[in-house]
Amino acid sequence: MSRVRELDPINLTITAEAGCVLARVQDAAAEAGRLLALSLASEGTAQIGGVLSTNAGGNATVRYGNAREQVLGLEVVLPDGRIWNGLRALRKDNAGYDLKHLFIGAEGTLGIITAAVLKLYPAPRESAVAMAAVRDARAALDLLASLQTENAEVVTSFEYLPRIGIEYVIRHAPGTRDPFDRVHGHYVLIELTSAREHAGLRVSLEKVLGAAVEDGRVLDAVFAESAAQAKALWRLREEMSDAQKPEGGSIKNDVSVPVSRVAEFIDTATARIRDELPGVRVVAFGHVGDGNIHFNLSQPVGADKDDFLSRWDHFTGIVNEIVVGLGGSFSAEHGIGRLKRATLEHFRGEVELGLMRRIKRAMDPDDLMNPGRVL
């Protein structure tokens, strides 16, 4: 269950079993000069089966989409023990209902994914990584828009990092440091990559950042001059979840809104939460390029952890109302599991839930698959 079964460099596909660790599949692709365009902080331990069952997102979604978008075919063990062999390595196949998308993101409640055919891309030849200090979250959005207009097809990552998150990381992740001489309030981490030779990514990124410095949206920027420097900048982003743990209780919100409303969401929700609990430390960070913000709340310094965490539902409720009011989702990339079932019932209407229940009953009438999850 952890074999790479096949790699077709011309068809740009790899067939991997569910137990394959994501990083191993990435490596197999890289050895063939190809790219698996799924990149998660947890790629060293996450397995393909889990990545697909949860429709994982990650750091390259702004360019390549979610895990779902990487899948051409699936093999699934069904509730009645039969195996559906849908391992087709085809980019076009309009023959009845699309079953694979039903299993992807279903969190194992409709069947167990045992293997998948995943898309590959030619390996990147060039990359440019930079971190920019921006005036505020709105300036981050403006910068994203400029970058998309100038560089659409090569914008691989665009992550937002607030000052407090950088401080947490520097305090708790050994070997990290602030890349800027001065303290700024807001940052973005940008990666452009291209499979083309002489793609001119650095020049092009300098141009966009230069224009943004001129008009005051960008306050300062640093470019990675080596792979090691790129890694150091990325570490500031990748340590940001873990670095919240030593700061006490943390209430997590994994939400998404239309990209155009990210700044409005962060500002509105931050103000509302601070009204509710002065001293609360809002750590809003993440994949602004695809509208997915991890809007986490650290307890006030010195507050009682259990007391703070006992208000989890109250705070997530406030955040989720704002999110949904902006046309967003209370569950962007982390899924429903057990914890968010009531939230799903609250926010998605009876029509949508009714459809999901019908599908669950039709596919798994005896409720054998991962009972108590999602619905």
By CB under 8 A, the residues from 201 to 220 that bind a copy of itself are: 204
Residues between 119 and 138 that touch a copy of itself (CB under 8 A): 121-122
Q: Is 362 in the site for a copy of itself (CB under 8 A)?
A: yes
Q: Is 346 in the site for a copy of itself (CB under 8 A)?
A: no
Minimal distance, residue 274 CB to a copy of itself, in Å: 26
State the Cα torsion 102-47-169-248 to the nearest 10°.
Answer: 70
Minimal distance, residue 133 CB to a copy of itself, in Å: 21
- In the chain, the amino acid numbered 364 is D
Minimal distance, residue 169 CB to a copy of itself, in Å: 23
Q: Which is nearer to a copy of itself, 244 or 331 (CB)?
A: 331
Residues between 248 and 307 that touch a copy of itself (CB under 8 A): 256-261, 287, 290-292
Q: HEC states along the chain? A: CCCEEEEECCCCEEEEECCCEHHHHHHHHHHCCEECCCCCCCCCCCEHHHHHHCCCCCCCHHHHCCHHHHEEEEEEECCCCCEEEECCCCCCCCCCCCCHHHHCCCCCCCCEEEEEEEECEECCCEEEEEEEEECCHHHHHHHHHHHHHHHHHHEEEEEEEEHHHHHHHHHHCCCCCCCCCCCCCEEEEEEEEECCCCCCHHHHHHHHHHHHHHCCCEEEEEECCCHHHHHHHHHHHHCCCHHHHHHCCEECCEEECCHHHHHHHHHHHHHHHHHHCCCCEEEEEEEHHHCEEEEEEECCCCCCHHHHHCCHHHHHHHHHHHHHHCCCECCCCCCCCCCCHHHHHHHCCHHHHHHHHHHHHHHCCCCCCCCCCCC
Judged by CB under 8 A, the residue of 175, 181, 198, 366 near a copy of itself is 198
Judged by CB under 8 A, the residue of 174, 182, 197, 278 near a copy of itself is 197
Contacting range for a copy of itself; rule: CB under 8 A; set: 139-147, 158-166, 168-176, 235-243: 139-147
Neighbouring CB atoms inside 10 A of 181's CB total 7
Q: Which is nearer to a copy of itself, 279 or 354 (CB)?
A: 354
Binding to a copy of itself by CB under 8 A, coded x per residue (else -) over 143-182, reads -xx--xxxxxxx----------------------------
Q: How is residue 372 written in tokens? A: 């108590």
How far apart are alpha carbons 34 and 26 in whole angstroms?
9
Contacting range for a copy of itself; rule: CB under 8 A; set: 21-29, 170-178, 217-225, 349-357: 349-357
Q: Is 5 in the site for a copy of itself (CB under 8 A)?
A: no
Q: Is 351 in the site for a copy of itself (CB under 8 A)?
A: yes
Q: Is 335 in the site for a copy of itself (CB under 8 A)?
A: yes
Minimal distance, residue 122 CB to a copy of itself, in Å: 4
- In the chain, the amino acid numbered 280 is V
Minimal distance, residue 168 CB to a copy of itself, in Å: 24
Contacting range for a copy of itself; rule: CB under 8 A; set: 91-99, 177-185, 235-243, 271-279: 91-99
Judged by CB under 8 A, the residue of 88, 163, 172, 272 near a copy of itself is 88
Minimal distance, residue 345 CB to a copy of itself, in Å: 10
Neighbouring CB atoms inside 10 A of 122's CB total 13
Residues between 40 and 69 that touch a copy of itself (CB under 8 A): 54-55, 57, 61-62, 65-66, 68-69
Judged by CB under 8 A, the residue of 27, 31, 98, 304 near a copy of itself is 98
Minimal distance, residue 50 CB to a copy of itself, in Å: 13
How far apart are alpha carbons 68 and 65 in whole angstroms?
8
The span from the first CA to the last CA of the chain, in angstroms, equals 28
Residues between 229 and 248 that touch a copy of itself (CB under 8 A): none
Q: Is there a contact between 307 and 300 (Cβ–Cβ < 8 Å)?
A: no
Minimal distance, residue 20 CB to a copy of itself, in Å: 20
Judged by CB under 8 A, the residue of 50, 105, 165, 249 near a copy of itself is 105
Q: Which is nearer to a copy of itself, 179 or 289 (CB)?
A: 289
Q: Is 333 in the site for a copy of itself (CB under 8 A)?
A: yes
